[in-house]
Amino acid sequence: MKQSRHFVPSMIQNFDGSCGIVEEGDRGDGKIRINEQRWSLISSSTKRKSRRPKYSKFTQQELPACKPILTPGWVISIFVTIGIIFIPIGFASLFASERVVEIVDHYDKDCVPLRYTDDKLAFIQNSKTNKTCIRRLTVPKQMKSPVYIYYQLDHFYQNHRRYVKSRSDSQLRSKSDENTTTNCAPERNSPNGAIVPCGLIAWSLFNDTYKFSVKNKQLGVNKKDITWKSDKGNKFGSDVYPKNFQSGGLIGGAKLNSSIPLSEQEDLIVWMRTAALPTFRKLYGRIEVDLEANDVVIVTIENNYNTYSFGGNKKLVLSTASWIGGKNYLLGIAYLTVGGLCLFLAISFILLYLIKPRPLGDTSYLSWNRSASGGLIFTS
């Protein structure tokens, strides 16, 4: 009797990616009878597309690149170069700063009458008290023109978030946005309408004034071009005039001339550029004559600005300028520190290399030196 053969279908995958059905029989006569029918698993229109990116040197990160080897010679040369450049710049900065002549007068406490020494706030808030104060400043060295006049405030946080946001830039730029006072609270509106300029920054405008004389001769103070040109030209409109400003019951600072556009009120523009630190200086004007050594400058101050309520300080600063600006020792010290540190490291590496040298590895084994394509080469 012949044995029956049973065929079991199974699926195999061919080398070309197609699939076929194979029928496997039993081993009754020691042979396998296979009937293979090839067929495609997925039609050509629905074949899965490969996600492999198209080959390029960019996608495979094989573009030519600079791959420096930091040998001891290179490292020492870099540190020496930085030191040689930075140290002369540091000395030049210190010498330039040393040539700047600066006079600082801390006048806020001395300009309070004796009977108000224990209650300075009552003095500054009383509109009937005499705020005029006379100060005498001696010039230590010749001060060549222009002599810059600054006022300095301490412990005044112009960088406070609510203070910085209390302004309307669109109102300052254009008359058509006169009523845009959304962010100006609490100085937004008055009984007569919108306040221009609105906000706490403008409301707290510095209002101390200074007059100068030498040998009974009045010195003029030039207040032109004391602002940034970008601020004057782009942030303050020539058609915007003060309106309802400082008209409430509580006066914060200086008043503005309602007949002059904001773009010409440079004291306001200087003040509106808020400071990043609680101690800052702002430019008040320029004296455009030379001040000789030992000259006595008579300063008439109107002490109006209230810094007593928050424990702040007011200072008057007269200063010349150099190619790095005003007196600033920090810049020169920073350059000298970095330059000196680099020279110290260079000398340390030289001694270390001479006393305990380490041989540099063979750079021919680096992958980019062994393969033109920039890839790694593996050997057995």
Q: What tens digit of pLDDT does each residue of 259-285 get?
A: 999 999 999 999 999 999 999 999 999
Tell which residue, 3, 77, 90, 1, has the closest CA to residue 337.
90
Backbone φ and ψ for 23, nearest 5 degrees, come out as -100, 120
- For CA atoms 341, 346, 350, 355, give the dihedral sign: positive
By percentage, how much of the chain surpasses pLDDT 70?
Answer: 83
pLDDT given for residue 345 in this prediction = 96
Which of the two residues, 254 and 29, has the higher pLDDT score? 254
Does any domain span residue 39?
A: no
**Quick one: 163 and 236 in the same domain?**
yes
**Quick one: 106 and 94 in the same domain?**
no
Backbone φ and ψ for 260, nearest 5 degrees, come out as -115, 130
Tell which residue, 295, 145, 151, 299, has the closest CA to residue 218.
299
pLDDT band at 250 (very low <50, low <70, confident <90, very high): confident
Does any domain span residue 144?
A: yes
**Quick one: 280 and 310 in the same domain?**
yes
Does any domain span residue 287?
A: yes
Which of 270, 305, 321 is at the close of a domain?
321
Q: What tens digit of pLDDT does each residue of 104-134 get?
A: 999 999 999 998 988 999 999 888 899 999 9
**Quick one: 346 and 211 in the same domain?**
no
**Quick one: 269 and 291 in the same domain?**
yes
**Side chain identity at residue 266, one-letter code:** E
Give me the DSSP letters along 233-291.
Answer: IIIS-TT---BSTT-SSS--S----TTS-GGG-HHHHHHHS--SSSSEEEEEEEE-S-B
Does any domain span residue 162?
A: yes
By percentage, how much of the chain surpasses pLDDT 90?
Answer: 57
Does any domain span residue 377?
A: no
Q: How large is the average pLDDT for residues 30-41?
A: 45
- Ramachandran region of residue 88, left (φ > 0), alpha (ψ -120 to 50) or beta? alpha
Tell which residue, 123, 184, 127, has the closest CA to residue 309.
123
pLDDT given for residue 371 in this prediction = 56
Domain membership of residue 250 as a residue range: 101-321
Helix (H) or strand (E) holding 83: helix 72-99
**Quick one: 236 and 206 in the same domain?**
yes
Tell which residue, 93, 107, 29, has the closest CA to residue 317.
107
**Quick one: 273 and 350 in the same domain?**
no
**Quick one: 347 and 312 in the same domain?**
no
Contact 117, 147 (CB under 8 A): no
Does any domain span residue 217?
A: yes
Helix, strand or coil, per DSSP, at residue 56: coil
Q: What tens digit of pLDDT does each residue of 192-230 get?
A: 888 999 999 999 999 999 999 999 999 999 999 999 999
**Quick one: 257 and 189 in the same domain?**
yes
- For CA atoms 42, 44, 46, 49, give the dihedral sign: positive
Does any domain span residue 18?
A: no
pLDDT given for residue 380 in this prediction = 39
Contact 178, 190 (CB under 8 A): no
Q: What is the CA radius of gyration of the chain?
A: 40
Does any domain span residue 78?
A: yes
Total tally of structural domains belonging to the chain: 2
Give me the DSSP letters along 193-247.
Answer: EE-BS-SHHHHT----EEEEEETTEEEP-B-TT-S-HHIIIIIS-TT---BSTT-
Which of the two residues, 374 and 236, has the higher pLDDT score? 236
Q: In what order do the strands lie in the sheet with 296-302?
A: 132-138, 296-302, 209-214, 217-219
Token output for 149: 């006049």
Token output for 72: 């001891």
**Quick one: 223 and 340 in the same domain?**
no
**Quick one: 125 and 228 in the same domain?**
yes
Distances (CA, A) of 352 to 184, 349, 356, 357: 64, 5, 6, 7
Q: What tens digit of pLDDT does each residue of 46-59 get?
A: 556 777 778 888 88
**Quick one: 166 and 292 in the same domain?**
yes
Token output for 277: 């630190």
Q: How large is the average pLDDT for residues 170-187?
A: 89
